Each structure stands twice: as C-alpha cells, then as structure tokens.
Amino acid sequence: MKADIHPEYREVVFHDVTSDFKFLTRSTLAATAKESVKWEDGNEYPLVKIEISSASHPFYTGKHKIVDTSGRIDKFQRRYAR
C-alpha cells in the first residue's frame, strides 16, 4: 500500500439535528469537522452534523415526514407550474 495517499480514518460523532440523535463511529470525515463534542466515555471527538439518520429516516421509523431544508419542493413547483 502506498503511504500518504489514504484519508485519515478515525472515530467521529455524527449528530442527527432532526431527531437530536448522536452516534459514535469511524469515518474519514474527521478532517472536515469544524466542531468537537465530549462523548459518554469522556473523550473528545470531531462532530459532524447530518439531517437524516436511521433515527429520523421514514424507512426505519415507519413514519412519513417531509424534510425540505433547501426549498426543493417550492423550486420544483415553481419550475413546473402551468
């Protein structure tokens, strides 16, 4: 394996802002995280905020919920209005 060509792979806390659910896993997104959070084990980890996870996705929750954070529905309706 070549040295210094792979991204850093380490532990990161993902925070689902929709349902306020947090989970610790490993990811390469640690380098892009701007915030950090103290986890249950007392260690500090990079924090990545996401909009949808298994705690808020309709497939896993069984509840249908419309998540429109960037106005995509309104943009679609304006574009195809007749």
Question: Could you tell me if residue 3 is inside a domain?
Answer: no
Map residue 17 onto helix, strand or coil.
Answer: coil
The parent domain of residue 23 ranges over 10-79
pLDDT value for 69:
61
Among 42, 54, 41, 43, CA closest to 14: 54
Q: How many residues does the chain have?
A: 82
- What are residue 65's phi and psi, to 5 degrees? -140, 130
CB atoms within 10 A of CB 79: 7
Does residue 31 fall inside a structural domain?
yes
* 23-40 residue pLDDT tens: 999 999 888 888 999 999
> How many domains in the chain?
1
Question: Is residue 71 assigned to a domain?
Answer: yes
Q: Which portions of the chain are predicted below pLDDT 50?
A: none
